[in-house]
Chain A
Amino acid sequence: MKKINLPLDENTIESLSAGDSVLISGQMFTSRDAGHKRLVAMIEKDEKLPIDIKGHTVYYVGPCPKKEGQVIGSCGPTTSGRCDAYTPLLLQKGLKGMVGKGWRNEKVIEEMKKQKAVYFAAVGGAGALYADCVKEAKLIAFEDLGAEALYLLTVKDFPAIVAVDSKGNSVYQK
């Protein structure tokens, strides 16, 4: 299994092919349906985002509340497709990596090719395992969204598959 580090650099992005299994380490921010809606609204109004998404990686997740002694509650990926409507704009603003589950639409894949970005599929339902990969979780914004708040996560050896690479090849293509 290939070990890769975040933020993703050009060489790493270039080297990843759909179907590769990887262990991801570094920082990613969390966001899903409601959070994306806000980020896009802020971009459209030219407001400063709570996090600089340039070169960053997003994880589509809505974790469980954490127990005492835990860094984060169970936190497997959610369906990425629900963020597809917002994703092209975020890619244009410099987003380089996405982690979630399930296929993406054509518009997202086209923009990924243009901007040279990668989409990783984490394993849906493996919430307990992913919680153990998160070493630090820091609340950044949108606290009122509860499970959908924006956190900055530091992960170590987070298992995933390259689902769509920067050339647009997809593990879901048959």
Chain B
Amino acid sequence: MATGLSALFMANRAALLRFLRARGAGENAEDLIQDMWMKLESKDIGPVADPLPYLYRMANNLMLDRYRSATRRERREQDWAEGAGGVMADPVDDMPVDERLILNQTLDEAREALRALGPRVELVFRRFRIEGVGQRAIAEELGVSLTTVEKDLQKAYRAMIALKQKMDTA
């Protein structure tokens, strides 16, 4: 199986490279392609249902990881400058009581915000975001159109991201 995936990778190398560049990889695109190749060769990935989308997703995840570690480094350097030290504690384990209260309050607020959107929007968001079910499957389960599911998700996402931003700036 892994050999099939490698062959597909070679056949689509140019398209993947183009994707990585569009994703903002710039001059590192070639290096990232090389990373992908090494990963594919070293790991026994097993049967993959949709091989080409799988490769694209792998490339996309590489870019997301890069973005995440870059922002984390920035934040850590900032913390360091503010004298907070470079240690990132697990947010829940070692949390002071007052912070935990705030977190509980946050969860309540998020729950309220989701509920305010109506039971279907909440259910759709939950199935998609927490349980990882695809939109088509959700539409079939609920007997609604794919467009309805898309709109519900956008509504829920907008509300949740707005809430997150409100809390971050508060």
Do A and B truly interact?
Answer: no
Q: B residues engaging A (CB < 8 A)? A: none
